[in-house]
Amino acid sequence: MKPKKKHTESPTVADEATSAASNQDKLAYKDPTLSIEKRVDDLISRMTLEEKISQMLNNAPAIERLDVPQYDWWNECLHGVARAGIATVFPQAIGLAATWNTDLIHRVATAISDEARAKHHEAVRKGIREIYTGLTFWSPNINIFRDPRWGRGQETYGEDPYLTSRIGVAFVKGLQGDDPRYLKVVATPKHFAVHSGPEKDRHHFDARVGERDLRETYLPAFKVCVQEGKAVSIMGAYDRTNGEPCCASKTLLQDILRDEWGFDGYVVSDCGAIGDIFKTHRVAKTAQEAAALAAGAGCDLNCGETYGALLIAVGQGLISEGIIDRAVKRLFTALFRLGMFDSPEMVPYAQIPFDVNDCQEHRELALQTARESIVLLKNENNFLPLDKGLKSIAVIGPNADDVQVLLGNYHGTPSQAITPLEGIRNRVSPQTEVFYARGCGISRNYTQSFTQAVELAKKSDIAIVIVGLSQKIEGEEGQEEGVEAGQSSQGDRTDLALPGAQQDLLKAIHATGTPLVVVLINGSAVSVNWANEHAQAIVEAWYPGEEGGTAIADVLFGDYNPGGRLPVTFYKSVDQLPPFTDYRMEGRTYRYFRDESLFPFGYGLSYTKFMYSNLKVRPKKVAPGENVEISVQVENIGGRSGDEVVQLYLTDVAASVPVPIRQLQGFERIPLAAGEKKMVRFTLTSGQMSLIDARGNRVVEPGEFMVAVGGNQPTGEGKTEGEFNVLTESFEVAGEMTEVD
């Protein structure tokens, strides 16, 4: 059966062609004095059904008769404008989270969107409208990093909903800008909603999750990025959630996203996810059924080709043209808000010069961010910082002199990048001899240069061994970025230990008797139990971006005092984890993990010491719906300046249903000079005191709540004693149980 077209709603090409050229300038959609809604309605009314459907594919063709240019909606900026040539490369997203600094992340996102705008307009001037040149960016990734085996966890802001929420909002706002009329770029938080591996199963996997875990763990970051961050776009996930394909889920896309949260932007599928609906999920039998199901549920844009079947779907009565109109209006509303149908002189962001790309200011920001992301995990007897005047240093390890490993995935191309080896050589005295040996490979058990590494360590004052992971070990399914030509990432990990021969390399260097400093470059937690017992110091640097080597050297030699904190739990063993495919949160992350970790969430050391005092919680008794004000004094009692990350955790002591052991509900990174004091204040809202009750409602229950404030969470684990003091105080919610939004 041939598809039917509603000629009364969509004029034919021939009809449109009869309009005189002189009238084109008077068309409503070209009139910038009209509202965007009127302009979009006018433009859509002039399109044929075929033309409208063509605009629902990520690589949308031009509609020349309407002066609609070709546009590819696919662009990436996870930690810098990606895959589009030279750009500033900031630390990977997990490193951004380790800064615990939302103001800094907003500055990073602002720099990224500056470069994005500059690159886009330069491409347009050259007539280039291909992939990775548009203004619609599929970032940030705000999935919860619930299991360290997930290869894409490096792209997230860690395991905690509150930390992820605050950093996500800062990133979204930095990308989209603050102009009252125009968007700077479009941010697209992803992957909505219950998605964090396994990578190999994502095209057919059904993530089963209860209402409490859904509402308390998997959804909060998306909710605030929509409601507070005003994200214009959301990307759906590949998998199913409780039986529904995420990109065709009425529950997620309509009931929650639009009806509950008031989202009025557009939804884009992950690439190929609409095809998965009938190919691998087998929820639909044909492409047209899958396309109709997804578009009908509210997925407006298909990264892929399956929406090409919508013409057949309309003809078969599977979907109405009104649904097509709804989707295309959402898409063109975003394009009009980006100023793509207005004169560049009207759009302030179109004036950003191309030379802002890869500028010195952004390179300095990348360095600052890399410095702030570094976490000092161990520093036995204040072994660090090192003396720049050491006679000799052995720099060893597979990650010591590899530019590619600095960049993580979804990255741009830096015009220059500093490896740890180069950073160390630049930082030490000219008289210091710096020796280098790779020692072993990142993943293979090849040990040909063990002998060289051991000999260099024997004749050196210090051995700095730089190990960890790479995109070979962790990444997206089928990822070829960051690996040798012809190869792809293994995706998820099965073990948390150092891979290959790296552990043996550490042991061989330690056996020489030379003091050992371990630097980790990786995107997820590594079980470095042996190193924690034997090395003098351990530094976590993540995938630190183009200035990573400089930042690492600055920390090692004391030019920068590390203040980063872990955004994930470092477990002792994979044996401590539930099955990877189990999406229940019990036993996962610091909020529900009852065993002893290697390094807890929120952990990080400093070269100075901080003291907490005068914790006040006011009032001590509140009615449901009232706020609680908290203040604490923090003093730097050490001998040098440094940053402290003040963390507030809340425990519902008297909950009637299962709740987290504790959960982060406030944080602030503050710089303090030696001897300086500062009063830090937080406000706890009723929403932060709420829980999901047995009926699935969000309520505030009467009872006792415990507040803990300090430089760490109150784990009770011995490793933090003497490094931090955590103060606790309680308050009471009195009255009747009350429902909250």
Is the bond leading into 619 cis (omega within 30 degrees of zero)? yes
Confirm whether 477 is a catalytic residue.
yes
Cβ proximity of 493 and 511 under 8 Å: no
**DSSP string over 313-338:** HHHTTSS-HHHHHHHHHHHHHHHHHT
Residue 698, beta-bridge partner list: 692
Cβ proximity of 258 and 298 under 8 Å: yes
Q: What's the sign of the alpha-carbon dihedral 230, 95, 194, 302?
A: positive
Give the SS3 label for residue 589: helix
Q: Which two tokens stand for residue 465?
A: 């061994």
Cβ proximity of 602 and 723 under 8 Å: no
Cβ proximity of 698 and 679 under 8 Å: no
User: CA 693 to CA 538: how far, in whole Å?
Assistant: 42
Q: Which two tokens stand for residue 480?
A: 């070829």
**DSSP symbol at 639:** S
Cα angle 409-413-418, degrees, rounded to a multiple of 5? 90
- H-only helix segments in 460-567: 502-510, 529-534, 548-556
Cβ proximity of 673 and 593 under 8 Å: no
Cβ proximity of 375 and 98 under 8 Å: yes
**DSSP string over 238-252:** SSEETTEEGGG-III
Cβ proximity of 151 and 94 under 8 Å: no
Cβ proximity of 601 and 566 under 8 Å: yes
Q: Which two tokens stand for residue 350?
A: 């179109």
Cβ proximity of 660 and 690 under 8 Å: no
Q: What is the 3-state secondary structure (H, E, C) of 364-411?
A: HHHHHHHHHHCEEEEEHHHCCCCCCCCCEEEEECCCCCCCHHHCCCCC
- H-only helix segments in 576-685: 589-592
Give the SS3 label for residue 506: helix
Give which of 606, 643, 594 is closest to 377, Cα–Cα.
606
User: Looking at 155, 270, 300, 546, which residue is catalytic?
Assistant: 270
User: Looking at 160, 477, 540, 546, which residue is catalytic?
Assistant: 477
Cα angle 173-175-177, degrees, rounded to a multiple of 5? 65
Q: What are phi and psi of 298, to 5 degrees?
A: 115, 15
User: CA 447 to CA 504: how far, in whole Å?
Assistant: 9
Is the bond leading into 140 cis (omega within 30 degrees of zero)? yes
Confirm whether 635 is a catalytic residue.
no
Give which of 113, 116, 219 is closest to 171, Cα–Cα.
113
**DSSP string over 79-114:** SS--SSSB---PPPHHHHHHT--HHHHHHHHHHHHH
- What's the one-letter identity of residue 394? A
User: CA 674 to CA 677: how far, in whole Å?
Assistant: 9
Q: What are phi and psi of 182, to 5 degrees?
A: -115, 145
How many residues make up the chain in this entry? 741
Cβ proximity of 481 and 471 under 8 Å: yes
- What's the one-letter identity of residue 390? L
Surface-to-core class of residue 382, CB atoms within 10 Å of its CB (0-12 exposed, 13-18 middle, 19+ buried): exposed
- What's the one-letter identity of residue 12? T
Q: Which residue numbers are catalytic?
A: 270, 477
